[in-house]
Amino acid sequence: MDEIDAKILAAINTVSPKVFVSPVKVNEILRLNGTEFGDRLKLLRKSGHVDIMTSEYPSSLTLPNAVSRVLITDLGKKSLKNNK
């Protein structure tokens, strides 16, 4: 996990530490390329730091690669505390 991943986790935790949120709202804080952000979320999901939902029906709150919701996991929260 690099510095950008840590910023992603912090942004998700800032928007909502307990419920799924739109990745578009999280990216309003980060201002990353939407596709790159979605790819990073998928990698963070594989490592267990976040959980994501995808949607077949894109909306204005869905990233270009179909990621529609994101939630920080307990492992993600623990990683945030360790990176401070």
Q: CATH no. for residue 26? A: 1.10.10.10
- Output the pTM of the full model: 0.92
How far apart CA 80 and CA 55 sit, in angstroms, is: 27
How confident is the model at residue 51, as a pLDDT? 97
Q: Based on the structure, what is the number of domains in the chain? A: 1
Summarised one tens digit per residue, pLDDT across range 27-73 is: 999 999 999 999 999 999 999 999 999 998 888 889 999 999 999 99
DSSP 2: -
How far apart CA 84 and CA 64 sit, in angstroms, is: 31
Q: Residue 18: which domain range? A: 3-83
Residue among 5, 25, 2, 3 nearest 14 (CA): 25
pLDDT of residue 83 exceeding 80, the answer is no
- Per-residue pLDDT band for 84 (boundaries 50, 70, 90) equals low
How far apart CA 43 and CA 47 sit, in angstroms, is: 6
